[in-house]
Chain A
Amino acid sequence: MIGEWLDIGWVDEIPVRGSRTVQVAGGDDIAVFRTGENRVFALLDRCPHKHGRLSQGIVHGGAVACPLHNWRISLTTGEALGEDKGCTPIVPVRISGGRVLICRASTLKAAA
């Protein structure tokens, strides 16, 4: 029986206001973010604009600035903020006992 959630590691492995990636074989990486308020989010590691690696951006508030052209992407909705239009798929995250769990179904979708 395969669970609904994938355990990817400890919350503390992600720098505050930073991110780590989960490599998905055959697909896009997933970027896992930890905000200044200690909340954890996961998004496909791909800006809707020119596919920049969001995991390499500056995390501020509840958003990340894409390293390529500074688009701001909401970590909660995956949507581009401000004047820009576009959306990055989000991956549901759960925190359990300090471990970060991401949604298996969404992760599989990233690999598809």
Chain B
Amino acid sequence: MKMSPIRAPEGDTREHLIVIGNGMAGCRAVEELIARDATRYRVTIFGAEPLVNYNRIMLSPVLAGEKTFDEIVINGQDWYDDNGIALVSGDPVVAIDRAAHTVTARSGVTLTYDRLLIATGSDPFIIPVPGKDLPGVITFRDMNDVEAMLRAAATGGNAVVIGGGLLGLEAAHGLTLRGMKVTVLHLMPTLMERQLDEAAGWLLKQALEARGQTILTGADTAEITGDGRVEAVRLKDGSVIPADLVVMAVGIRPAVGLARAAGLEVGRGIRVDDHMVTSDPAVLAVGECVEHDGQVYGLVAPLWDMCRALADGLVGQPSGYRPAPTSTKLKVAGLDVFSAGDFTGGDGAEDIVLRDASRGVYKRVVVRDDRIVGAVLYGDTADGNWYFDLLKRGENVAELRDALIFGQAFASGGGQADPKAAVAALSDEAEICGCNGVSKGQIVSCIAKGARSLDAVRTGCKASASCGSCTGLVETVLALTLGEDVEAGPKTMCKCTSFGHDHVRREIVAQKMRSIPEVMQKLHWSTPDGCSSCRPALNYYLLCALPGDYQDDQQSRFVNERLHANIQKDGTYSVVPRMWGGITSAAELRAIADVVEKYDAPMVKVTGGQRLDIFGIRKEDLPAVWADLNAAGMVSGHAYGKALRTVKTCVGAEWCRFGTQDSTGLGVRIERATWGSWMPHKFKIAVSGCPRNCAEATIKDFGVVCVDSGYELHVGGNGGIHVRATDLLCKVATEAEAIEMCAAFIQLYREEARYLERTAPWIERVGLDYVQSRLVPDTAARAELAARFFFSQQFMQTDPWAERAQGAAHEHHAPMARFTPQEEMA
């Protein structure tokens, strides 16, 4: 139980509004109230779940593993704090005393209210069959249910979902993705009959069955059986379906128990007037628990409208709730479904139908008296908002009639679909964000108040802040409203985070983070364990920040760095032993030749970096190959890594008549100093003995060109797609200075470049002046960088091949098992 101070602060004489229910309706009502008058009421919210306000609609993506709980939070604790709202969570209200104006919670705490708002929502309907209380029979209503389903799915087995409506199908989809074998039992002849007509229901059933679910329509449950826990579901026709988990999703009932006990007028729901006031003027009610004009509601759109009417009434500017047509848009197993209004047809109604079997598209628009009264779309729901907008405004569609079914772009005249024109044509009332009930007009006014980017709109009016499926529409509204002035947000590392590389890295260092899960937790990663883009980057950032201390995560490394060899397209590997400075010997060549023959390597190739590359080695043979190469004194050449690759040299003063310095000697010394270091990207070095530059030092990440008076040091060169010649960093007089500068430059690159950023784009981004300013004038700073590099090197210069050759990480190479069908059958 979480409690904030709930007694009125000294001197606070404001009216006290108590809200029972911390769900979508209760919190939305408070949001609407605060938007109108932030100070009029002192607010306390009671919630039964020990959680902050979250988006119940988004439980399905959580179940499906597409979202985490943190991502579906609508209002975090800071919202309550910032608005001075007392939240009492995990402590449901159990009694209302209307005479005394008090509510009492389960913990015994009793508070006095001036106005009371009941937003208790609804309870899942449990069909009264034998076995309904067996362990393993659950509903799909809150985080608890989702957690129960995830626990059940962890051990696999059979799941039966009773109810083929929206909720049931989403539960079935999630459980299927989680690996359970799912059967859906639906009492009616077609799925989702309240939202879809028969044709669309049938298409949906076909598609879900193709995805491995069993769908039984007209299935009437007789009993749930099991000894101590659920084992099967028996239907009235006698068939029995095995079940390790049963999810009841047949419908919801307004939760009216508390209101009824308090003596409020209750029909199917708590009866309210147009201002959401119950039979007691001091008590209001909103959301799925209410009955308005004989109707109860289970969708979010009417709920948002109710909250607006309620808040208007609370601040003394009553507007009144008027029921509006509703629409349903959902995505189940990647299938788009949309429906709105009345599609039952009937007198005077005309159907306009389009079927495109090859695309799996079905569209039906119901028109009465030249006005759209209903629409069902399956497979292509892009025009749903447009039809719904026409429907709500009661627009005369006589002129559009012929082209109506082909959608907005076509009907509006242009043969070419122009999504921008489509959004421009939407009215201000048209709903853009279904999750948070935000209209186009609200987004435009949010932009008018200064929002200049998608992020700002998300913060300002919540549009696109939940599931993000309307992000494209919101961006179009931004573009239409601001034109060129839209600000792009910072480029994020990947889809798992809203932060960019630099920010993540700064936080890792500032907060002294020590592991990938810690980074993901603290920076609110949106996926459970990242992706193939962010994991290698985080692994590198941590490795760089904590030399000698960080436990390298092999599973966050690209295959080449995990297997210390280069994967080829046929699944074999190529192996490049290190040849210091490109110099080799008879013994090394002999060892390489032996490996080629012994392991049947189909090709040996001289690389651009002056090494020998042995191709076609099988994963299982790698440790043995390395053992043979190690025996001849060779170590890993790191041709596979975001690391120092090679130091290429020319023969220099020792042999060449033009040579000015010992370029091979310097190359070997530089390679000895820098090998083994992990970097943001691959890193190549060359040392040329004279300005003729035979080692091509001016297209390397770090290049040395020897001259009579010393060494020219060049940086930021690159072959590849975009050839970039190096920039001259500086000139030094001695080899020792050249090596120190090389180490300092590498360390600056390691600490400041983004993962997968070569030195060339990095220098173009930060500027040569900046790099020079960090390395050249300030000898102390340069020495520190070099010292940090050499400190880190003492943990890096262990030959990974030698470790593997001696049996380390055996599981990366050997198969887990072998299977030979012939032997088995013999």
Q: Are B567 and A20 in contact (CB under 8 A)?
A: no
How far apart are the CA atoms of A23 and B554 in the complex, in Å? 23
Contact mask for chain A residues 50-76; partner B; CB cutoff 8 A; 1 contact, 0 none: 111100111111100101101010001
Which residues of chain A (16-43) have a CB below 8 Å from chain B?
A: 16-18, 20-26, 29, 32, 35-39, 41
How far apart are the CA atoms of A53 and B656 in the complex, in Å? 47
User: For the complex, is B820 an interface residue (Cβ under 8 Å from A)?
Assistant: yes
Q: Are B532 and A108 in contact (CB under 8 A)?
A: no
Which residues of chain B (170-220) have a CB below 8 Å from chain A?
A: 176-179, 211-212
Residues of A within 8 A of B569 (CB): 50, 52, 68
User: For the complex, is A88 an interface residue (Cβ under 8 Å from B)?
Assistant: no
User: For the complex, is B764 an interface residue (Cβ under 8 Å from A)?
Assistant: no
User: For the complex, is A86 an interface residue (Cβ under 8 Å from B)?
Assistant: no
User: For the complex, is B233 an interface residue (Cβ under 8 Å from A)?
Assistant: no
User: For the complex, is B527 an interface residue (Cβ under 8 Å from A)?
Assistant: yes
Q: Closest approach, in angstroms, between the C-beta of B577 and any C-beta of chain A? A: 22
Most B-side CB within 10 Å, residue of A22, A53, A56: A56
How far apart are the CA atoms of A58 and B529 in the complex, in Å? 11
Q: Are B816 and A20 in contact (CB under 8 A)?
A: yes
Which residues of chain A (68-112) have a CB below 8 Å from chain B?
A: 68, 70, 72, 76-77, 94-95, 107-108, 111
How far apart are the CA atoms of A6 and B821 in the complex, in Å? 11
Residues of B within 8 A of A36 (CB): 528-529
User: For the complex, is B655 an interface residue (Cβ under 8 Å from A)?
Assistant: no
Residues of A within 8 A of B212 (CB): 77
Q: Are B563 and A60 in contact (CB under 8 A)?
A: no
How far apart are the CA atoms of A41 and B557 in the complex, in Å? 20
Q: Are A67 and B567 in contact (CB under 8 A)?
A: yes
Q: Which of A29, A61, A67 contacts B528, CB < 8 Å?
A: A61
A100's closest neighbor in chain B, by CB? B816
Q: Are B815 and A58 in contact (CB under 8 A)?
A: no
Which residues of chain B (556-570) have a CB below 8 Å from chain A?
A: 556-560, 562-563, 567, 569
Q: Are B816 and A13 in contact (CB under 8 A)?
A: yes
Q: Closest approach, in angstroms, between the C-beta of B562 and any C-beta of chain A? A: 8
Whether A15 touches B563, Cβ cut-off 8 Å, given contacts A39-B179, A94-B156, is no
How far apart are the CA atoms of A111 and B65 in the complex, in Å? 33
Q: Closest approach, in angstroms, between the C-beta of B40 and any C-beta of chain A? A: 46
Residues of A within 8 A of B819 (CB): 6, 8, 22-25, 107, 111
Q: Closest approach, in angstroms, between the C-beta of A60 and any C-beta of chain B? A: 5
Residues of A within 8 A of B176 (CB): 76
How far apart are the CA atoms of A82 and B817 in the complex, in Å? 32
Q: Closest approach, in angstroms, between the C-beta of B212 and any C-beta of chain A? A: 8
Q: Closest approach, in angstroms, between the C-beta of A74 and any C-beta of chain B? A: 8
Q: Are A58 and B179 in contact (CB under 8 A)?
A: no
Which residues of chain B (582-640) have a CB below 8 Å from chain A?
A: 619
Whether A9 touches B817, Cβ cut-off 8 Å, given contacts A39-B179, A58-B535, A61-B531, is yes
How far apart are the CA atoms of A53 and B568 in the complex, in Å? 10
A94's closest neighbor in chain B, by CB? B156
Q: Closest approach, in angstroms, between the C-beta of A80 and any C-beta of chain B? A: 12
Q: Closest approach, in angstroms, between the C-beta of B269 and any C-beta of chain A? A: 39
Residues of B within 8 A of A37 (CB): 154, 528
How far apart are the CA atoms of A37 and B817 in the complex, in Å? 23
Residues of B within 8 A of A15 (CB): 554-555, 811
B816's closest neighbor in chain A, by CB? A20
Most B-side CB within 10 Å, residue of A14, A29, A72: A29
User: For the complex, is B761 an interface residue (Cβ under 8 Å from A)?
Assistant: no
User: For the complex, is B530 an interface residue (Cβ under 8 Å from A)?
Assistant: yes
Whether A60 touches B567, Cβ cut-off 8 Å, given contacts A23-B818, A39-B179, A94-B156, is no
Q: Closest approach, in angstroms, between the C-beta of B481 and any C-beta of chain A? A: 29
Q: Are A108 and B154 in contact (CB under 8 A)?
A: no
Q: Are A58 and B818 in contact (CB under 8 A)?
A: no
How far apart are the CA atoms of A103 and B567 in the complex, in Å? 29
Q: What are 23 A-to-B residue pairs whose CB atoms are below 8 Å?
A: A14-B816, A18-B554, A20-B816, A21-B815, A21-B816, A22-B815, A22-B816, A24-B821, A29-B815, A36-B529, A52-B569, A52-B571, A53-B567, A56-B559, A58-B532, A58-B536, A60-B529, A60-B531, A61-B65, A61-B528, A95-B156, A107-B819, A108-B821
Residues of B within 8 A of A (CB): 65, 154-156, 176-179, 211-212, 527-532, 535-536, 554-560, 562-563, 567, 569, 571, 619, 811, 815-822, 824-825
Residues of A within 8 A of B (CB): 2, 6, 8-9, 13-18, 20-26, 29, 32, 35-39, 41, 50-53, 56-62, 65, 67-68, 70, 72, 76-77, 94-95, 107-108, 111
Beyond the given pairs A59-B555, A94-B156, 13 more chain A to chain B contacts, judged by CB atoms under 8 angstroms and listed by A's residue number, are A18-B555, A21-B816, A25-B820, A25-B822, A36-B529, A53-B567, A61-B527, A65-B532, A67-B559, A70-B532, A72-B532, A76-B177, A77-B177
Closest 8 CB pairs of A and B: A65-B532, A20-B816, A8-B817, A17-B555, A36-B529, A25-B820, A56-B559, A58-B532
